[in-house]
Amino acid sequence: MNIPSHNPKTLGTQLKKILSGIEKNLQDWSGTKQVNNEILKNTTQSIDDRLKEVEKYEKLLSAERANLAQYLNDTAKPLYKKARDHAYSVYGKKSEKLKEYSLNKM
């Protein structure tokens, strides 16, 4: 069996399946201290809690990215265009002077 550690949701699901198997066959697992119901329950709960925390931050990050995109569209891009157009009108579009402003690279 491959360990799906690269995907926490898959690993959590697999651990829950193992836990349900252990609960159905408790007599086969009574002698082990490394793997038991309590450890598996705590681990799967911890995975679930951490995934919820990550999802919360992903939503916040998504909202912040949307705010950034809006700011860029509303403020930064128009300002860039005004500055670029002014530099073009002062120096001309093919002027070497534009190198100082990094405008001839775009």
- Determine the Cα angle at 49 with ends 45 and 50, to 5°: 120
Beta strands in 1-106 (DSSP E): none
The predicted pLDDT at position 5 comes to 62
Structure pTM?
0.57
pLDDT tens digits, one per residue of 62-103: 999 999 999 999 999 999 999 989 999 998 888 888 888 787
Would you list the domain boundaries of the chain?
Answer: 8-101
92 φ/ψ sector (left φ>0, alpha ψ -120 to 50, else beta): left
pLDDT tens digits, one per residue of 10-69: 888 888 888 888 888 877 777 666 677 788 888 889 989 999 999 999 999 999 999 999
Q: Within 10 Å of residue 47's Cβ, how many Cβ atoms?
A: 17
